[in-house]
Amino acid sequence: MTTTDVVTKEITFRVYRYKQGDASPHYDTFKVPCDEWTTVLVALQAIRRDNDPSLTLRHSCHHASCGTCAMIINGREELACVVTVLDLGTDVVTVEPLHNIPLISDLVVDMVPFYDVLNQADRPYVRRSEFMPEAKPPGGIDFYTRYENCIECGACVSACPIKGTSEEYYGPAALAAAWRVIEEPRGRDPKAALDWVDTPDGCWRCHVAYECTEACPSGVEPAEKIMALRRALTRQKLGRLFGRRD
């Protein structure tokens, strides 16, 4: 295909706007020509470059590894860098910041509270990879390692209906990280992790909506991890009730 064969379509973007001191947020509308490779992130960068340099957004890797471009696109938590505009199948794309995380400006939210809770889980960052079992590591390496699946994008927190009603709730990302400590301690204390989640604001606050798992772009399945925490705590409590030791 030559450059003359590329089909371009003009898409309307409704972009959420808010600056500190504004009385209320509003939406600005922009027309952006998009081809089959244009992602939402690329379109937003074009808006900032060609139409409004005051548009605030966050991005880094452009290939779904860093999580910084997470936002709500047509009502769903997504990574803007991998959502192709024309694949959305609509002439109007509405872009909004993540929910349940303090808003700083336009599409940028304050991730500090998210990290404050996540860090309490004391999760390991590196683990053995269970993917591609047929792959053979190079000489001198026994197995492949990788970083945790969670890219700390905040999509699960945004999608969580309980986090929307309770700031004290730990949230799905932190609870999933706590389960990783129990599943694969790597020098951490599994008992401390269980004690940490065994509170009214921990794993028991979840209402099992599974919206977090649906929103997760990395297959972490935080809702399933929360249920695993509950099972582990139930076994522990039953063991104490009937005189067994863990």
- Among candidate residues 91, 109, 127, the one where a domain is terminated: 109
Q: What is the pLDDT confidence band of residue 229, given thresholds at 50, 70 and 90?
A: very high
| pLDDT-wise least confident of 17-21, 119-123, 158-162, 219-223 | 119-123
pTM for the model: 0.86
Residue 246 lies in a domain: no
Q: For residue 202, what are its two tokens?
A: 């921990």
Q: 119 and 200 share a domain?
A: yes
Q: 102 and 10 share a domain?
A: yes
* pLDDT given at position 49: 97
- Among candidate residues 109, 124, 154, the one where a domain is terminated: 109
Task: Give residue 231's domain range.
Answer: 112-241
130 pLDDT above the threshold of 70: no
Domain total in the chain: 2
Residue 169 lies in a domain: yes
Q: 158 and 59 share a domain?
A: no
237 pLDDT above the threshold of 70: yes
Q: 128 and 235 share a domain?
A: yes
Residue 11 lies in a domain: yes
Measure the CA–CA gap between 206 and 227, rounded to whole angstroms.
Answer: 9
| pLDDT-wise least confident of 53-57, 91-95, 168-172, 189-193 | 189-193
